[in-house]
Structure 1
Amino acid sequence: MEIAIASYPDAWRAAVYGLTDMFSVAAKYELQQSGPDGRRLRISHHELNASGSVSKVYDTHPAERERALVAVVLPPGLGDDLPFGERMGAFPEWIRGHHQAGAIVCSACGGASLLAQTGLLSGRAATTHWLHGDTIAKRHPDIRIDTDKMLLDEGDIITAGGMMAWTDLGLRLIDRLLGASVMLATARFMLIDPGAREQSFYAKFIPRLDHGDTVILNVQHWLHGTDSRGLNLQMMAERAGLGERTFLRRFQKATGINPTEYSQRLRVAKSRDLLEQSNLSIEQIAWASGYEDANAFRKIFRKIVGVSPGEYRMRFSIGSAPETDDRSAVDKADV
């Protein structure tokens, strides 16, 4: 079974070689578990040649005859620009052709931009790095971009989120092709957590400030400078000097989200910093972030980030945990 890795211009070489090594480890474990009659993986790299066509430049089994590909992988990019446009040469057509022949097409991080250029994502959901979501969504409005997800598997197309999500993508592909036993053995060997993750654990809130609506921008600056405790839609509309309906419509158009969610994301962003860097209790962090009710804070934090405040602190804290922070109580309250 041949997996082709598209080494397009500015593709991240660490991911190209990392995926190659991961698939090679999986092939070793498949041989151990199934013997010589088991399934074999063949890994190849493909680049653009001088004429702009796609050529195979590396093959783990060069003496084998050519067969239909089982998967095409588009790794993350490392350049300043997303992989798009004429500099991608024949890659979009090459990817479409292998998809039509039955190959699973996969992308990680910015590789989703090249996948989107093929037209295969039209009308579908896909994920990419949270920094690239808006750019790809504007360029391809027919694609439903969901940057909260680390991995979206639609059978014939798999998309993965951040730069290191190529590890999640590789494990999913191994699971699909060689089974869970080989996938888990590979994950153990490479010390990769095979458990489910979400990109929302890592994504930071980056508000839109370049929309050109000065009235809304003034409200945003005001929200950023207050703890927003007790704020409601009426107070924000009054600050803007607009009626509530007009304010809601203009705020949504300018920022992409409604004022209530915007305020929540600001508060959760502050709480994440405190969870990472302070030894305050969850209740103290809730209050410092603008929440009078710690239980309400926990529910909103889990909704936005995907884990409870206590779980987030355990994953990402760089300070010492507070002695009074009862984690078991926090977890019970979050259920």
Structure 2
Amino acid sequence: MLNVCLYIFDEVVPSSVTGVVDLLSGANRYMERAGKKASFVIHLVTEKGHQIPFNFVNPDIRHQNYEDVLKADLIIIPSFSVGNDGVLMRNKAAIDWIKGMSAKGAEVASLCVGSYFLAEAGLLDGKEVTSHWAVAADMQKLYPNIRMKSDLVITDQDGVYTSGGAFSSLKLILYLIEKFCGREAALWISKMFAIEMDTTSQAHFKVFTGQHQHDDKNILKAQQYIEENYSNDIGMEEVSSLANMSKRNFIRRFKAATNNTPSEYLQRVRIESAKKAIEMNHKDLPFIIEDTGYSDLKTFRKVFRRITGLSPMEYKRKYARG
């Protein structure tokens, strides 16, 4: 049986704890009904003196201080609410423990923004990483040695796992159940808990709100112009002249400020507008294409799929109003 340690801290998102416990316990029940041994012993671990704010009546679960853990096969870091300043500092001792247990052979996994814990421990350096799409830019800035792939739902490298945002992170638990219990067990859990398997992208969940967290006033002015005129045929020479720069210098500064070229930024603004129009379902696709500044369906479909991971019709089936 695998010793799974789920780290509980004050700011933890409850669903990222209870969801994990439900799925792993469900996998144990499946294995036992199949005439096999349960796969997981679940340890809810905390810093010494901290209380666990959950009451599970479950024989699979044990409560323990992480300082007393002698052996961990898998450590899972749940999510916390974005904007909780000081979470990493308050859990510095636990991060050191995670790093030490990893050095002893424990595998480590993060759910959603729990990836900050693994990055702070240096366990994501040089690795592809995913997390909630809303923190992708922040993580890449704070930890330049990681390779952020925020479109992915799951990454798995050398016993280090990261997962996408919010409830999509439970797909990582399904993935781990399949890895340690087999495909049939994972399929059973998928059906019982109504969680789709095999999703590889979370790009269609992203909401593009513009990248304004910088101090370059000329670039902010250019961004505002693009956001207000995206439906028109905008040339980069036109926008660079508004920003009082040469085209070459404008592209360089725009990329440095927003992490996108001006052309990429324009496409993202247009596709975000198209997504909202598709969701409202008030207009047919040809009119949406025209309204968002595209001149042909083929180009629109290509850009839409590249940014969202879905075709326009797939997106409509998922998110359009009835």
Same fold (TM over 0.5): yes
Contact 1:83 1:114 (C-alpha < 8 Å) held by counterparts: no
Q: CA deviation at 1:197?
A: 4.1
Q: Deviations over 1:42-70 (max 9, x none)?
A: 111011124x9xxxx9872659xx87322
Rounded to whole Å, the distance in 2 between the matches of 1:252 and 1:62 is 50
Aligned to 1:260: 263
Q: CA deviation at 1:8?
A: 2.3
Q: CA deviation at 1:215?
A: 1.3
Rounded to whole Å, the distance in 2 between the matches of 1:167 and 1:83 is 25
Aligned to 1:14: 15
Matched letter for residue 22 of structure 1: L
Aligned to 2:298: 295
- When structure 1 is superposed on structure 2, of 294-303 and 84-93 the one drifting more is 84-93
The unaligned stretches of length 5 or more in structure 1 are 321-335
Partner SS for 1:153: strand
Aligned to 2:272: 269
The unaligned stretches of length 5 or more in structure 2 are 64-68
Aligned to 1:23: 24
Asked if residue 166 in structure 1 is aligned to residue 169 in structure 2, the reply is yes
Rounded to whole Å, the distance in 2 between the matches of 1:140 and 1:255 is 17
The within-5 A match list for 1:58-69 is: 60=60, 68-69=71-72
The within-5 A match list for 1:83-122 is: 84-122=87-125
Asked if residue 229 in structure 1 is aligned to residue 229 in structure 2, the reply is no
Aligned to 1:324: none
Matched letter for residue 140 of structure 1: Y
Rounded to whole Å, the distance in 2 between the matches of 1:82 and 1:135 is 13
Aligned to 2:223: 220
Rounded to whole Å, the distance in 2 between the matches of 1:153 and 1:62 is 27
Contact 2:42 2:62 (C-alpha < 8 Å) held by counterparts: no
Rounded to whole Å, the distance in 2 between the matches of 1:129 and 1:83 is 19
Q: CA deviation at 1:188?
A: 0.4
Aligned to 1:201: 204
Q: Deviations over 1:249-301 (max 9, x none)?
A: 11111111100000000000000000100232222111111101111100000
Give the number of aligned pairs: 311
Aligned to 2:66: none
Matched letter for residue 3 of structure 2: E
Asked if residue 191 in structure 1 is aligned to residue 194 in structure 2, the reply is yes
Rounded to whole Å, the distance in 2 between the matches of 1:46 and 1:90 is 13
Matched letter for residue 273 of structure 1: K
Q: CA deviation at 1:138?
A: 2.0
Contact 1:10 1:79 (C-alpha < 8 Å) held by counterparts: no
Partner SS for 1:122: coil
Rounded to whole Å, the distance in 1 between the matches of 2:88 and 2:275 is 38
Percent sequence identity over aligned pairs? 27
Aligned to 2:5: 4
- When structure 1 is superposed on structure 2, of 172-181 and 203-212 the one drifting more is 203-212
Partner SS for 1:276: helix
Rounded to whole Å, the distance in 1 between the matches of 2:42 and 2:86 is 22
Q: Give the TM-score, by structure 2 length.
A: 0.90
- When structure 1 is superposed on structure 2, of 258-267 and 286-295 the one drifting more is 286-295
Rounded to whole Å, the distance in 2 between the matches of 1:62 and 1:47 is 11
Q: CA deviation at 1:243?
A: 1.0
Partner SS for 2:119: helix
- When structure 1 is superposed on structure 2, of 138-147 and 288-297 the one drifting more is 138-147
Q: Give the TM-score, by structure 1 length.
A: 0.87
